Structure 1
Amino acid sequence: MPTISIFYGIIIQMFWQEHPPPHFHALYAEYEALINIHTLEVEKGFLPKRAMVLVLEWAIEHRAELMEAWNQCAQMQSPQKIEPLS
């Protein structure tokens, strides 16, 4: 599972050949959330409020890059890294 970004202890990953809808996994400590790229809604899992705010801020800034990474993973290609939240 490729890691596409890391910031403030949060790891953003995608699986190869993952099921629709387009989404990414955000991991923070023992928590994990699967987040829809189009709606930015949590499809499964949970993150603490502060971590979730940071993930959503980052995802809004990088939505196009997330879709590109999704498409690369769907084709079994390694996605490009995405700049962390600064």
Structure 2
Amino acid sequence: MKKLKGPVARGEELKKKVLAGLDKVRPHLVADGGDVELVEIDEERMVVKVRLTGACGGCPSASMTLKSGVEAQVRKAAPEIEGVEPV
């Protein structure tokens, strides 16, 4: 687990940060006929669980989209998050 400077967001504050990250990547997904949905934030593991929907749900590039797009933006908005997992 990485060490962060300052307080770590939890609860609604963390959810707002995660949603802000998802909102940054959402226009790119929508442009390709897909979207992303927040399913859960596991605060014990600091992992975000998301569902790619629409065209993104069955896309062969979904794992790359998840890591390079979704996870990158979520971790930028909420550095305390350790990772993003699909459900």
Q: What is the TM-score with the length of structure 2 in the denominator? A: 0.34
Structure with higher helix content: 2
> More strand by proportion, 1 or 2?
1
- RCO greater where, 1 or 2, for CA within 8 Å and sep 6 or more? 2
Q: Tell which structure's C-alpha radius of gyration is larger.
A: 2
Q: TM-score scaled to structure 1, two decimals?
A: 0.34
